[in-house]
């Protein structure tokens, strides 16, 4: 049973990249939604670290040393947890 509790706790800390705080580092846990393949081609893959740089109509993120802008719809499909 302790494993199930730890898994529940981990799920509770997940949020979408849209919900994440600006200026903080996150680890991508999984991608959920119809644009998963497009996101992976852009470099948004599970276990990669990402920093959210700006909020707005489009979100600006730094991933693998590259700044990228994502629509809010795409950012909603990226589930992250704090590093």
pTM: 0.82
pLDDT at position 22 is 98
According to DSSP, residue 59 is labeled E
| CB-CB neighbours of 5 under 10 Å | 9
C-beta of residue 51 within 8 angstroms of C-beta of residue 25:
yes
Range of the domain at 45: 2-82
C-beta of residue 49 within 8 angstroms of C-beta of residue 83:
yes
47: domain CATH number is 2.30.30.90
Q: How many domains does one find in the chain?
A: 1
Could you tell me where the DSSP H helices lie in the chain? 2-12, 36-41, 72-76
Per-residue pLDDT for the chain (83 aa), expressed as one digit of tens each?
Answer: 455 454 454 556 899 999 999 999 999 999 999 999 999 998 999 999 999 999 999 999 999 999 999 999 999 999 999 99
């Amino acid at each position: 049973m302790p494993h199930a509790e730890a898994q529940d706790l981990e799920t509770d800390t997940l949020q979408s990249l849209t919900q994440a705080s600006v200026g903080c580092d996150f680890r991508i846990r999984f991608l959920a939604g119809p644009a998963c393949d497009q996101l992976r081609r852009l470099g948004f893959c599970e276990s990669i670290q990402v920093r959210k740089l700006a909020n707005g109509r489009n979100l600006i993120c730094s991933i693998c040393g590259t700044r990228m802008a994502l629509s809010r719809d795409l950012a909603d499909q990226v589930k992250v947890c704090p590093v």
